[in-house]
Structure 1
Amino acid sequence: MAIETEKKVNDFAHRTSHRNRIFKHLERVERSWERNEVSSNFPVSLEIQPTDRCNLSCRFCAYRNLRLNGDLPVQVFSDLVQELVTEQKTRSVVFSGGGEPSCHPYLPEAIIQLNAGGIETGILTNGVAMNTRLEEAYQKCRWIRFSLNAADETSYRRLNFSPAGTYDRACRNIEKIADQRIDGAPTLGISMIVQDGYDQLTYLRNFIGVAHNLGVDYVMFRPLVQTDNFQTATTQGTFINWTEEIEETAREKGIAVNYKTFLRERYETAWQVRDYHRCPVVYDSLIGLVTAGGDVFPCVALYLTGNGKYSFGNLNGSSFKEVLTGGKRAEAVNNINAVACPYCRHDHMNEELLKYMAGETSEQTCSDPHWKFL
Structure 2
Amino acid sequence: MLRTTSEPITSTGTWTWSASCTSAPSTRRCCRSPKAGGCPRHWSWTSTPPPSAIWPAPECISGGLLNQGQIGKDRLVELAEELAASSVQAVVLIGGGEPLLHRSIGTVIDTLFDAGLQIGLTTNGTMINRYLDQIADKVAWTRVSMDAANETTYPKFRPAKRGRVVFPTIIDNMRQLAARKSGRLGYSYLLMQRYAPDGTVLDTNFHEVIEAARLAKDIGCDYFEVKTLVDDDHYTLSQKAEDIALVEGQLAEIRTFTDDDFHLLVSNTWEKVRAGIDPVELKEYHTCPVTELRTTITTSGVYVCPYHRGNPAGRIGDINTTSFEQLWKNADTTIIDPARDCQFSCSRYPTVLQIQRMRPDDGVTLVDDFDPFF
Q: TM-score range by the shorter chain?
A: 0.7 to 0.9
Corresponding residue SS for 1:46: strand
- In the TM superposition, 1:74-223 aligns within 5 A as 74-87=73-86, 89-132=87-130, 134-139=131-136, 140-162=138-160, 163-181=163-181, 185-196=182-193, 197-200=204-207, 203-223=208-228
Q: Which residue of 1 aligns with 2:270?
A: 263
AA matched with 1:372: P
- Cα distance in 2 for partners of 1:186, 1:112 equals 15
* 2:256 corresponds to which of 229, 234, 248: 248
Q: Which residue of 1 aligns with 2:65?
A: 66
Q: Which residue of 2 aligns with 1:3?
A: none
AA matched with 1:247: R
Q: Which residue of 2 aligns with 1:29?
A: 31
Q: 1:275 to 1:167 in 2, by over 3 A?
A: same
AA matched with 1:180: R
* 1:46 corresponds to which of 43, 52, 57: 43
* 1:307 corresponds to which of 311, 323, 326: 311
- Cα distance in 2 for partners of 1:348, 1:175 equals 34
Q: CA deviation at 1:220?
A: 0.3
Q: Which residue of 2 aligns with 1:343?
A: 345
Single out whichever of 231-240 and 146-155 deviates more from structure 2.
Answer: 231-240
Q: CA deviation at 1:245?
A: 1.9
AA matched with 2:134: A
Q: Is the CA contact 2:296–2:302 (under 8 Å) kept in the aligned structure 1?
A: yes
- Cα distance in 2 for partners of 1:144, 1:71 equals 24
- Cα distance in 2 for partners of 1:127, 1:161 equals 14
Mark the runs of 5 or more structure 2 residues left unpaired by the alignment: 1-22, 194-203
Q: CA deviation at 1:46?
A: 0.9
Q: CA deviation at 1:50?
A: 3.1
Aligned residues: 330
Q: Is the CA contact 1:103–1:129 (under 8 Å) kept in the aligned structure 2?
A: yes
Mark the runs of 5 or more structure 1 residues left unpaired by the alignment: 1-20
1:269-315 deviation per Cα after TM superposition (whole angstroms, max 9, x unaligned)? 98421111111222xx233111134x111101011xx3213211112
- Cα distance in 2 for partners of 1:270, 1:365 equals 36
Q: CA deviation at 1:48?
A: 0.8
Q: CA deviation at 1:362?
A: 5.3
Q: Is the CA contact 1:94–1:122 (under 8 Å) kept in the aligned structure 2?
A: yes
AA matched with 1:46: W
Q: 1:27 to 1:177 in 2, by over 3 A?
A: same
1:157-199 deviation per Cα after TM superposition (whole angstroms, max 9, x unaligned)? 1112223421111111111111123xxx210011111123211
- Cα distance in 2 for partners of 1:222, 1:275 equals 26
- Cα distance in 1 for partners of 2:367, 2:172 equals 35
Corresponding residue SS for 1:221: strand
* 1:317 corresponds to which of 308, 312, 321: 321
User: Does 1:363 find its partner at 2:360?
Assistant: no
* 1:280 corresponds to which of 284, 289, 301: 289
User: Does 1:296 find its partner at 2:293?
Assistant: no
Q: Is the CA contact 2:26–2:358 (under 8 Å) kept in the aligned structure 1?
A: no
Corresponding residue SS for 2:215: helix
1:109-144 deviation per Cα after TM superposition (whole angstroms, max 9, x unaligned)? 111110110000000001012444x11221210000
What RMSD over aligned residues (CA atoms) do the two structures have, in Å? 3.0
Q: Which residue of 1 aligns with 2:16?
A: none
Identity of aligned residues (%): 20
Q: Which gives a bigger RCO, structure 1 or 2 (Cα 8 Å, sep 6+)?
A: 1
- Cα distance in 2 for partners of 1:152, 1:195 equals 15
Corresponding residue SS for 1:312: strand
Q: Is the CA contact 2:210–2:250 (under 8 Å) kept in the aligned structure 1?
A: no
Q: Is the CA contact 1:55–1:100 (under 8 Å) kept in the aligned structure 2?
A: yes
Q: Is the CA contact 1:178–1:214 (under 8 Å) kept in the aligned structure 2?
A: yes
- Cα distance in 1 for partners of 2:28, 2:311 equals 31
TM-score of the two chains, using structure 2 as the length reference: 0.79
- Cα distance in 2 for partners of 1:247, 1:365 equals 34
